[in-house]
Amino acid sequence: MSKNRESHPIEYWVNETKLPNNLSTTLKFQEKENYTFLLTGSTGFLGGFNLKDLILNEKCQRVYCVVRSYQSFDQCKQILKDSIHKTTTLHLNDQQFDKIYPIKGDITQFQLGLSSSDYEMISNQVDIIISVAAQVNFSSPYKKSKITNVDCIQRLLELAVSNKTSLKRIVQISTMGVFFNDREIIENDNDLALLEKLNGKPGYFQSKAIAEYRYKEASKNGFEILLIRSPILFCSENGYGNNSDLFQLTIKTCLNEGKTGDCNFIPNCNTVPVDWFSRVMIKMIIDKNVWIEPFNAYNPSDSTYFRDYLQMIGNEFSLPEFPMDEWLEFIKNSNHPTTQLTVSTFRYFGYALKKFNAPMSTKTKNYLKSINEYDGHKITKTILFKYIYASFFSKSKL
């Protein structure tokens, strides 16, 4: 077992699920025609799409973006605008960009690292908090991952009740990976990862699982929490991708090394276009009728088998396919930094990927149908090769 995969007695994990100070509230959320949002993680991959979808929505009045590497207001706003331009080919106008308001902060710090004046401003103006920022290094142990992924929960809950006239809703983006390496098939969106199965999982998944328990407790204590579990996110429909994703690392490694692996042990990983997931997210957030239970928001119309896509790539570029063990043995001797990262990632996950189960309830299926997001959003061959040509051939180095 990796030294970074922590194992503890069950009592330790039970204690980790408890909310500090047993926070509770009797405040109520105020429905409005338009909402003001606080978005964490706006400079990240998913956060950029969320920010774009928010400012395009007519119900969004303003988005405050917590930026840790804050320089100046104008510089941060330009960085956020540049990030949005990568996510879409749509032309956005000045009125839409004017909704963006970056503020200096750090969710790992007291009062989110905001100045007293900014905290008061946020407290008075924000209606909905969207928590996207996360520590996603899979090789980090739980105690390091929890600093960002768990400890911030108390600060977000405190902000949610900081204005004594109304409650702020909190949207927590979790991951389907909380069920990573579980042998049983989970059949309900409300199911939580079993604490007795947390030992030995990557620290990122452990921290996200514990965060879900804490938010579940907060919802029992009067807070309004929308928990949305994300599947694996591939590139957008315009080819803009996240180069640290395992699927995309594998694609690049195949092209770098001139061989593909058969990925025969990897199941349907339900990888979806990131813009589909972001679009569904924002629809859920603004829909006042869904603030009840967690959602496993993967795309039920999409079956994603790595081998199918690697075979497309092999056929396109005349790359031979090798059994996975042989392919991994071959690439481990490469000095290419992307290949080295792929090798370490596969070594870290091992064959546990084949045990991943992705649950979805009838409730979620019906909701996706009701918002016209159930069918037709697969990762197509066109999207796959848009990503390859945009991210691989347009750069001299990967």
Tens of pLDDT, residues 66-99: 999 888 999 999 999 999 998 988 889 999 999 9
Among the listed residues 178, 184, 138, 180, the one whose alpha carbon sits nearest the alpha carbon of residue 356: 180
Token pair, residue 345, equals 């990632």
CA–CA separation, 56 and 93 (whole Å): 10
Query: pLDDT digit string (tens) for 355-385?
Result: 555 566 777 888 888 889 887 677 888 889 9
Which segments in the chain show pLDDT lower than 70? 1-3, 181-188, 267-268, 291-293, 301-303, 349-360, 376, 393-398
b/e 31-54 (16+ beta carbons within 10 angstroms → b): eeeebbbbbbbbbbbbbbbbbbbb
Cα 274 to Cα 123, 233, 245: the distances in Å are 30, 5, 12
pLDDT score, position 182: 67
d(Cα 121, Cα 130) in Å, to the nearest integer? Answer: 17
* pLDDT for 193: 87
What pairing do the DSSP bridges indicate for beta strands 169-175 and 225-230? parallel
Residue 330, helix vs strand vs coil: helix
H or E, element range at 296: strand 295-296
Model pLDDT, residue 109: 95
Determine the pLDDT at residue 326.
Answer: 92
- From residue 169, alpha-carbon distances to 16, 22, 33, 35, 36 in Å are 23, 18, 15, 11, 11
What does pTM read for this prediction?
0.92
The CATH code for residues 10-234+271-296 is 3.40.50.720
Which residues fall within 8 angstroms of residue 115, CB to CB, at 6 or more apart? 104
Rounded Cα distance, 109 and 40, in Å: 13
User: What single-letter amino acid sits at 189?
Assistant: D
Contact 294, 232 (CB under 8 A): no
Cross-strand partners of 67: 104
Per the CB < 8 A criterion, the answer to whether 248 and 341 are in contact is no
- List every span in the chain annotated with CATH 3.40.50.720: 10-234+271-296
Measuring CA to CA, which residue among 215, 150, 216, 212 is closest to residue 179? Answer: 212
Considering only CA atoms, which of 207, 149, 146 is closest in space to residue 177? 207
Q: What is the pLDDT of residue 397?
A: 39
pLDDT at 356: 57
**Sign of the torsion angle spanned by Cα atoms 276, 277, 278, 284:** positive
Strand-pairing partners, residue 36, are: 62
